[in-house]
């Protein structure tokens, strides 16, 4: 028997966007555990905005297991929050998100690294040089030193955990970065994204750095942070076609408010029609158009309106479970033929 550290991770009751919580239990296993081996656990919901003090027990139901390279013999146990009777807690958005293995999602998570209440590299008073050289930049005067160290370490932690990280880049504002995660299956992509956020925040503790997920932390001529959500159904990948695409876009236009409602708080500060965004009260789509709500990638039309689409509206703070739920709902409303 060997002892393993199991870090149970869940989302708390904060609204509109939950925060991550985690605690460790130690368990003995003869061989490295699988998801089926890790037990239910519980926590005090009165301390996480999920229960009243007089009946405070909430249940943690493990739903995904990730190797944790930051600790010896350790796993991260992503868990859903349940009532003691086994029904999902109202804060449990994963339970309401359909788990469709044929829906593929790629999230482009943008964020700022902050120190002492301002983006890394910002002077104590005033601003650094204007945007321009920071996007995919190199050199100490643009990037500083600690940011890239964090980004690289985070990438390795995610890869070790089995998260399908697809890339990283420095973003347009100073102190702003992005990572991309792709997942086949709506739950897989959203689960991986929450764990990647957890790993980033935990890692940053030792550098005395905060991760700022808000979509518009600096006013003025500084980019906000989005979480472009690339999506494809099996039908969109394999059949597609102009007619189908136009019907789908009509459904997206019709459901504009329902999408914006789950695309993250304060999005009106970011979706202004400037800084590569469409304004929050409009819906548009276009080929390679970074000022549209939905962008068709460069080869989409050439491939017969087939492939994936990029919804540019979700923001950096949004809950991926709610994003995938709404996208699936809108796609289902047009009744795509089911493919074998």
Q: Which residues bind Mn ion (CB under 5 A)?
A: 108, 178, 228
Q: From CA 275, how far away is CA 315, in angstroms rounded?
A: 13
Contact segment (CB under 6 A) with ligand ADP among 13-21, 129-137, 223-231, 323-331 equals 223-231
Of residues 3 and 290, the one with the C-beta less far from Mn ion: 290
Of these partners, ligand ADP, Mn ion, none, which one is at the site of residue 222 (CB under 5 to 8 Å by kind)?
none
For the CB of residue 85, give the shortest distance to ligand ADP in the complex, in Å: 37
The total number of residues written for the chain in this structure: 340
Binding pattern for the stretch 257-276 against ligand ADP, x by CB under 6 A and - elsewhere: --------------------
Preceding amide of 268 cis, omega within 30:
no
Give the total of residues touching ligand ADP (CB under 6 A).
14
**Does position 235 bind ligand ADP by CB under 6 A?**
no
Of residues 104 and 321, the one with the C-beta less far from ligand ADP: 104
Q: From CA 308, how far away is CA 305, in angstroms rounded?
A: 9
Q: Which residue is nearest to ligand ADP (CB)?
A: 106
Task: Kindly tell me which residue out of 48, 79, 223, 232 binds ligand ADP, with binding defined by CB under 6 A.
Answer: 232
From the list 119, 120, 197, the residue with the least C-alpha distance to 157 is 197
Tokens of 246: 């136009």
Of residues 176 and 230, the one with the C-beta less far from ligand ADP: 230
Binding pattern for the stretch 156-195 against ligand ADP, x by CB under 6 A and - elsewhere: ----------x-------------x-x-------------
Of these partners, Mn ion, ligand ADP, none, which one is at the site of residue 305 (CB under 5 to 8 Å by kind)?
none
Contacting residues for 227 by C-beta, under 8 A, at least 6 apart: 107, 108, 109, 110, 264, 314, 315, 316, 317, 318, 320, 323
For the CB of residue 177, give the shortest distance to Mn ion in the complex, in Å: 9
Contact segment (CB under 6 A) with ligand ADP among 88-96, 133-141, 227-235, 279-287 equals 227-235
Query: Which residues, 98 to 157, sit near ligand ADP by CB under 6 A?
Result: 104-106, 108
Query: DSSP characters for 278-297?
Result: --TT---EEET-TTSSEEE-
Of these partners, ligand ADP, Mn ion, none, which one is at the site of residue 104 (CB under 5 to 8 Å by kind)?
ligand ADP
Note the helical H segments in the chain: 140-143, 146-161, 186-205, 234-238, 242-254, 256-261, 320-333
Contacting residues for 209 by C-beta, under 8 A, at least 6 apart: 113, 114, 115, 120, 146, 150
Of these partners, ligand ADP, Mn ion, none, which one is at the site of residue 300 (CB under 5 to 8 Å by kind)?
none
Name residue 66's beta-bridge partners. Answer: 76
Give exposure, 46-58, as e/b (b: 16+ Cβ within 10 Å).
Answer: eebebbeeeeeeb
Q: From CA 29, how far away is CA 48, in angstroms rounded?
A: 30
Tokens of 33: 């555990």
Binding pattern for the stretch 303-322 against ligand ADP, x by CB under 6 A and - elsewhere: -----x-x------------
Of these partners, ligand ADP, Mn ion, none, which one is at the site of residue 106 (CB under 5 to 8 Å by kind)?
ligand ADP
- Residue 170 Cα to chain centre, angstroms: 17
Residues of this chain that interact with ligand ADP (CB under 6 A) are: 104-106, 108, 166, 180, 182, 228, 230-232, 237, 308, 310
């Amino acid at each position: 028997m060997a002892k393993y550290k199991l870090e149970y991770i869940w989302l708390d009751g904060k609204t509109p966007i939950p925060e991550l919580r985690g605690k460790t239990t130690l368990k003995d296993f003869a061989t490295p555990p699988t998801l089926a081996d890790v037990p239910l656990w519980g926590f005090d919901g009165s301390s996480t905005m999920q229960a009243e003090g007089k009946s405070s027990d909430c249940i943690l139901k493990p739903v995904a297991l990730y190797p944790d390279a930051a600790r010896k013999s350790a796993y991260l146990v992503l868990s859903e929050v349940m009532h003691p009777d086994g029904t999902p807690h109202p804060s449990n958005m994963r339970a309401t998100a359909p788990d469709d293995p044929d829906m593929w999602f790629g999230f482009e998570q943008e964020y700022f690294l902050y120190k002492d209440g301002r983006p890394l590299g910002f002077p104590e008073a005033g601003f650094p040089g204007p945007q321009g050289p920071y996007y995919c930049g190199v050199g100490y005067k643009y990037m500083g030193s600690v940011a890239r160290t964090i980004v690289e370490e985070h990438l390795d932690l995610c890869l070790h955990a089995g998260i399908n990280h697809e890339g990283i880049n420095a973003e347009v504002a100073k102190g702003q970065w992005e990572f991309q995660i792709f997942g086949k299956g709506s739950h897989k992509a959203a689960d991986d994204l929450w764990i990647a956020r957890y790993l980033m925040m935990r890692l940053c503790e030792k550098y005395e750095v905060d991760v700022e997920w808000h979509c518009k932390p600096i006013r003025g001529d500084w980019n906000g942070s989005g979480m472009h959500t690339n999506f494809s159904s099996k039908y969109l990948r394999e059949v597609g076609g102009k007619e189908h695409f136009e019907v789908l876009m009509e459904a997206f236009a019709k459901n504009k408010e329902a999408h914006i409602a789950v695309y993250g708080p304060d999005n009106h500060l970011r979706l202004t029609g400037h800084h590569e965004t469409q304004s929050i009260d409009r819906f548009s789509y276009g080929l390679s158009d970074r000022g549209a709500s939905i962008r068709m990638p460069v080869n989409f039309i050439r491939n017969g309106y087939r492939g994936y689409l990029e919804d540019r509206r979700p923001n950096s703070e949004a809950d991926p479970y709610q994003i995938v739920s709404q996208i699936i709902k809108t796609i289902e409303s047009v009744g795509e033929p089911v493919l074998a």
